[in-house]
Structure 1
Amino acid sequence: MRIRPLTVDGLTALVPTTVACLLGAEAGTQGWPPLDAFAWTLVALTNLPLALRGLAPVTVFLVVHLGWIVYVSLGHWPVVNSPAAMVALYTVASTRTDRITGACAALMSGVWIYAGVISDSDAMASVVGQAIGYPLVLWRFGYVARRSAELTVRLRAEQAERARREVAEERVRIARELHDVVAHHMAVINVQAGLARFVFDSDARTAREALTTIGNAGGEALAELRRMLGLLRADGVDGSDGVQEGGAATEPTPGLDRLEEMVERVRAGGVPVDLRVCGEPRPVPPGVQLCVYRVVQEALTNVLKHAPGAAAAVELAYRAGEIGVSVTDDGRAKERGRGVDPDRMPAPGGHGLIGMRERAKLYGGTIVVGPRREGGFGVHLTLPTSEQAARRGDAVTE
């Protein structure tokens, strides 16, 4: 539960108010006049405004010091209200510029010396030292607090901007990969169109099959184009369409048929990986295949980076209307059943997690990323394999 700043200021005001009441009760024993009803009222009017210090620091500072001056002028013990004056100066120093803080510090020093003079103190040297030392220390502490708050705000803004840029870069990169998928469909359409034209008069059945293939490939290409354009337009992100010189991709888009090849590379890197396929394999849209491939690639890369020597398992499951993939590891290199290494937790703005999230979102899937109860780490992705299911929405869980 987050506590409101005004509540914090109110609780803070109780501290100097309580100290003032304790000191005021002892004024008679210290050789000062006991507090009457008017003096107690002045104590309250001097300390309680601190509850509003966050809303108007300079105004509260002036009210506190005005009450302090009146209290001292009536011949009462100056120390009673000094904690309130210190809190008020610190608040100004931590929220306002050095020029304003300097003026307030000078005012506090003047009131402090005035209290020493009017009370006919025998230790004016000590009073002057306190009048100079306390404001300077409070000024310094307030300055450090103000600089820390400014740096925190700046850091948060930079982190938000960096996360936004990473999302934009990742979306453009995914869109470029989707271009490869669309280029694949166009190539299929071109070949099948040539075949249909060649056998149109001599083999009607083959021509019909070619036209059916063209229709299916064209539908899938349009769906991928819609996703790509939506991705590039999201949040006002502009990027290239991924078309390379010559209008063709330089290498084929990876799919499920290359999972074994990737797993072999990871095994060669020293990580034992077990690849299992559940269900009856069936054709899956190229974009979905690419999404699965990239998520598995990122998850295994994280195992190589953060848990070298751990055993990993990749399970690809074909289910009715969807395809799922899980990448898990036992995390033996970092843990022995006692939780997960903090270094393995994905950072809020982590580029790899952003990529997984954006890919799952693009295809209306769900992804769960995090430590496993039995130890290690796990990534679980589920994607619909039909366009209708993909339109129903998306969900990402971390």
Structure 2
Amino acid sequence: MDEQQVRPRGGPPMWWRHGPPWWNRWDDEEQRPRLPWRSTVLITVFVLAGSNFAGQGQGDRQDLDPFARVLLFVAAGLLLWRKRYPVAVVFGTSVAATVYLGAGYPYGPVFLAVAVACFNAIVTGHRRAAWAAVGVFWAGHALVAHWLYEWLPPSGDPAASWGQEGVIAAWVAAIVAVSELAKTRREQWAKERAERAQAARRRADEERLRIARELHDVLAHSISVINVQAGVGLALLDTDPEQARTALTTIKAQSKEALGEVRQVLDTLRTPGDAPRAPAPGLDRLPELVGQAASAGLTVEIEGTAPRLAPGTDLAAFRIVQEALTNVVRHSGSRNARVRLDRDDVGALRLRIDDDGPATGADAGGSGNGLAGMRERAAALGGTIEAGPRADGGFRVLAVLPVTSPAETKEDR
């Protein structure tokens, strides 16, 4: 149990020292709202000066005396703490205004203090307290104006008309209505800000995922080729130095290209709105990809031609082929792969990458991260990916991608 909730035997409850729950106290000074000095001073001056002016035309009411000015000062001055203690302030202001009007002093700007306190209490979430306070204010005024007026100053004052009470009731209802409307708008704005922040976080997460996927595809392919060529170079370093030199040359070229692609991916982390320094890769670079695979000892046959694709679809298709060939190099005993490109009946691009196997380890077809990345790319475009072993012992990756991605179609509209 929390120490602050423990009540000493025979002693007062703990809220006696710290205040009741509705008191709205802050234990940390830094969390306390700032006192609204300027607005409170302006309201206080307006209430005091305006009451003097308003009293000149109300001969049937008591003249302002020091006690009246004290009540006015208290009603307006309490607003200084309205941000920290909205419940206490709205009740205090209502009581001070009720006593002021019950004593027979002139009607006037004292209503403004009650309105500000009520408005503040409602918009800060203390609806019931605000309603109760203004209800007490109106009920107190009606009680004095219709039943207790004979025993209160000024002497000989008649009962107030019920029409006047209707005006005051309408004024109270208007204050509550405006406050509720302001509270509703404030909550709506807060919800919209939260939704915008959540959308921004979601976009940031998607961007991080996209960058991670790009880096995985670039590095997995390049490092696989480098690993194969490094093994070839080490094996032939003594027996065939010329072939070892070729392997080292391939490693240099591949590492340079990988660094360039990594820089291109990381360029997206620059100031938003900057154009990329180099075009994103697409299926037009398939011959280059075939050459890289050949340097790793993999022969790739290309069948069919790709249709004209949107940039996002073109990049996804290239990365899918790249990842599939990387998995062949890393996880298949076959040194031959086939890539077929065509369009299905609905006009979508079909990519099929086959190898004859067999798998060289438990992770046939890949460790899972590459396949997951391919599925994410396809799903983002509204396409599908099927990957798995074939009946004859090989492995197949089949991707179906729309020629134009949904996002790019929406932008065109």
TM (norm. structure 1) is 0.50
Distance 1:15 1:140 in 2: 21
Which residue pairs with 1:42 in the alignment?
Answer: 71
- 1:134 aligned partner, one-letter code: W
What is the CA-CA distance between 1:177 and the residue it aligns to? 0.9
Match of 1:285 in 2: 260
Structure with greater Cα Rg: 2
- Can you give the 5+ residue segments of structure 1 that lack an aligned partner in the other structure? 221-254, 256-282, 301-313, 317-398
Aligned position for 1:79: 108
Tell me the residue number matched to 2:43. 15
Contact kept? 1:92, 1:101, Cα under 8 Å: yes
Name the counterpart of 1:140.
177
Counterpart of 2:244 in structure 1 is 207
* Root-mean-square deviation over aligned CA pairs: 3.7
- 1:124 maps to a residue whose letter is S
Q: Post-superposition shift, 1:133?
A: 0.7
SS state at 1:207 partner: helix
Q: Identity percentage over the alignment?
A: 29
Amino acid at match of 2:260: P
Are 1:104 and 2:133 matched, yes or no? yes
1:32-59 Cα shifts (integer Å, max 9, x gaps): 3332223222221121111221221221
Evaluate the alpha carbon distance shift between residue 18 and residue 166 of structure 1 in structure 2; reply closer, same or farther with a 3 A threshold: same
Residue 342 of structure 1 corresponds to none
CA distance in 2 between partners of 1:198 and 1:6 (Å) = 75
Query: Structure 1, residues 324-383: CA drift from partner, whole Å, max 9, x if none?
Result: xxxxxxxxxxxxxxxxxxxxxxxxxxxxxxxxxxxxxxxxxxxxxxxxxxxxxxxxxxxx
2: CA distance, partners of 1:37 / 1:177: 78
Deviation of 1:101 after TM superposition, in Å, equals 3.2
1:176 corresponds to which of 182, 206, 213: 213
3-state SS of paired residue (2:183): helix
Q: SS of the residue aligned with 1:202?
A: coil
Question: What is the one-letter code of the residue matched to 1:173?
Answer: R
Residues 36-75 of structure 1 correspond to what in structure 2 (within 5 A)? 36-75=65-104
CA distance in 2, matches of 1:293, 1:7: 45
| 1:266-307 residue CA offsets vs partner (Å, 9 max, x unmatched) | xxxxxxxxxxxxxxxxx953311344599899766xxxxxxx
Tell me the CA shift for residue 198 of structure 1: 5.8
Say if 2:47 and 2:72, in contact at 8 Å, map to a contact too.
no
Distance in 1 (CA, whole Å) between partners of 2:117 and 2:277 is 63
Distance in 1, matches of 2:163 and 2:34, equals: 36
Q: Does residue 27 of structure 1 match 2:48?
A: no
Q: 1:67 to 1:197 in 2, by over 3 A?
A: closer
State whether residues 94 and 133 of structure 2, in contact with CA within 8 Å, keep that contact through their aligned partners in structure 1: no
2:225 is the counterpart of 1:188: yes
* Cα pair 2:226 2:251 within 8 Å, conserved: yes
Question: Per-residue CA shift, 1:246-278, capped at 9, x if unaligned?
Answer: xxxxxxxxx8xxxxxxxxxxxxxxxxxxxxxxx
Change (3 A) 1:63 1:217: same
Specify the code of the residue in structure 1 equivalent to 2:240: D
Closer, same or farther: CA 81–96 of 1 in aligned 2, 3 Å: same
- Look up the SS of the partner of 2:108 in the other structure: helix
Q: Distance in 2 between matches of 1:291 and 1:37?
A: 74
Once the two structures are overlaid, the 10-residue window that deviates more, 154-163 or 139-148, is 154-163
1:79 is displaced (CA, Å) by: 3.3
Is contact 2:46-2:109 (8 Å) kept?
no
Report the CA distance shift for 1:135/1:93 in structure 2 as closer, same or farther (over 3 A). farther
1:58-89 residue CA offsets vs partner (Å, 9 max, x unmatched)? 21122112222332343322435222222222
Q: Is the 8 A contact 1:108 1:135 kept in 2?
A: no
Q: Distance in 1 between matches of 2:180 and 2:48?
A: 26
Match for 1:130 among 154, 163, 167?
167
CA distance in 2, matches of 1:186, 1:284: 11
Unaligned runs of 5+ in 2: 1-31, 279-413
| Corresponding residue of 1:91 | 120
Q: Equivalent residue of 2:238, what SS? A: coil
Aligned partners of 1:197, 1:8: CA distance in 2, in Å?
Answer: 77
Rounded to whole Å, the distance in 1 between the matches of 2:164 and 2:273 is 67
